[in-house]
Structure 1
Amino acid sequence: MSIRPVLETRKAQATMEGAGVHLHRAFGFHDPTELDPFLLFDDFRNDNPAAYEQGFPWHPHRGIETITYVLAGEVEHGDSLGNQGRLGAGDVQWMTAGSGILHQEMPKGNANGQMHGFQLWANLPSALKMTAPRYQDVSAPDIPVVVDDDGTAVRVIVGAFWGKHGPVDGIAADPQYLDISVPPGVKKTFPVDTYRRSFAYVFAGAGAFADASAPEGVLLEKEVAGQEVHIRDLSGNRTLIRFGTGDEVTVQAGPEGIRFLLISGAPIAEPVAWHGPIVMNTKAELRTAMADLRNGTFIKPAH
Structure 2
Amino acid sequence: MENINRKKRKVSALWSVEYHKNTPIHKAGLLLAPGNWERFDPFLLMAEDHMKQGAFDYHPHRGIETVSYMIDGELKHMDNKGGRGVLWKGDVQWMTAGKGILHHEEAPENGFAHLLQLWVNLPAESKMVEPRYQDILESKMVKQEAEGVTVKVISGSSGELTAETRNYVPVTMVEISLKPGSQFSQDLPPDYNGFIFVLEGSGEFGSDLTAGKEKQVLWLSEEPDEESEINIHALNEPLKVLVIAGKRLRESVAAKGPFVMNTEEEIKQAYKDFREGKFGAWSEE
Normalised by the length of structure 2, the TM-score is 0.88
291-300 vs 24-33, greater mean Cα deviation: 291-300
The AA in structure 2 aligned to 1:272 is V
Deviations 1:128-155 (A, max 9, x none): 111110111122221021112x211111
User: Of residues 160, 165, 181 in structure 2, which corresponds to 1:163?
Assistant: 160
After superposition, what is the alpha-carbon deviation per residue over 1:22-51, rounded to whole angstroms, capped at 9, x for unaligned?
A: 122101312111121111112224xxxxx5
In the TM superposition, what is the alpha-carbon distance from 1:76 to its structure 2 partner?
0.6
Give the aligned CA root-mean-square deviation in angstroms.
2.2
> What does residue range 270-281 of structure 1 map to in structure 2 within 5 Å?
270-281=251-262
2:267 match: secondary structure:
helix
* Structure 1 residue 35 corresponds to structure 2 residue 12: no
Give yes or no for contact 1:138–1:167 (8 Å, CA) kept in 2: no
Q: Are residues 168 and 16 of structure 1, via their aligned partners in 2, closer, same or farther at CA, if it must alter by over 3 Å?
A: farther
Report the 3-state secondary structure (helix = DSSP H, G, I; strand = E; otherwise coil) of the residue aligned with 1:141: helix
Would the aligned equivalents of 2:158 and 2:186 in 1 still touch at CA under 8 Å?
no
Q: Is the 8 A contact 1:19 1:57 kept in 2?
A: no
Count of matched residue positions in the alignment of Structure 1 and Structure 2: 272
Question: Residues of 1 paired with 2:271 and 2:149: CA distance?
Answer: 47
Aligned match of 2:3: none
Counterpart of 1:286?
267
CA contact (8 A) 2:136 2:154 kept: no
1:251/1:159 CA distance change after superposition, 3 Å: same
Give the Å deviation of 1:19. Answer: 9.2
Q: What secondary structure does 2:270 align onto?
A: helix
Inter-partner Cα distance in structure 2 for 1:127 and 1:94: 19
How is 1:90-109 mapped onto 2 (pairs within 5 angstroms)?
90-108=90-108
CA distance in 2, matches of 1:10, 1:131: 35
Are 2:279 and 1:298 equivalent residues in the alignment? yes
Select the residue among 180, 185, 198 that pairs with 1:184: 180
Letter of the 2:86 partner, please give it: R
Q: TM-score, normalised by structure 1?
A: 0.83
Q: Is the 8 A contact 2:74 2:112 kept in 1?
A: no
**Aligned position for 1:226:** none
SS in 1 for 2:41: coil
- Structure 1 residue ranges, 4+ long, deviating more than 3 angstroms after superposition: 15-20
Q: Structure 1 residue 16: deviation in Å?
A: 5.6
Alpha-carbon contact 1:205-1:254 (below 8 Å) kept: no
Q: State how 1:15-34 maps to structure 2 within 5 Å.
A: 15=20, 21-34=26-39
Shift of 1:194: 2.5
Equivalent residue letter for 1:136 = Q
In the TM superposition, 1:110-189 aligns within 5 A as 115-148=113-146, 150-169=147-166, 171-189=167-185
- Secondary structure at the counterpart of residue 292 of structure 1: helix
Paired position in structure 1 for 2:211: 234
> What does the per-residue CA deviation read over 1:231-252, in whole Å, with 9 as the maximum and x for residues that have no partner?
xx63111111111124010122
Q: Which residue type is aligned with residue 96 of structure 2? A: T
Q: Is contact 2:149–2:183 with CA below 8 Å preserved after alignment?
A: no
Any idea what the Cα deviations from partners look like across 1:139-183, whole Å, max 9, x if unmatched?
2221021112x21111111112232221312x1111111000121
Match of 2:98, SS state, is: coil
| Max Rg structure | 1
C-alpha distance in structure 2 between counterparts of 1:298 and 1:18, whole Å: 29
Question: Is the 2:79–2:102 contact (alpha carbons within 8 Å) kept by the matching residues of 1?
Answer: yes
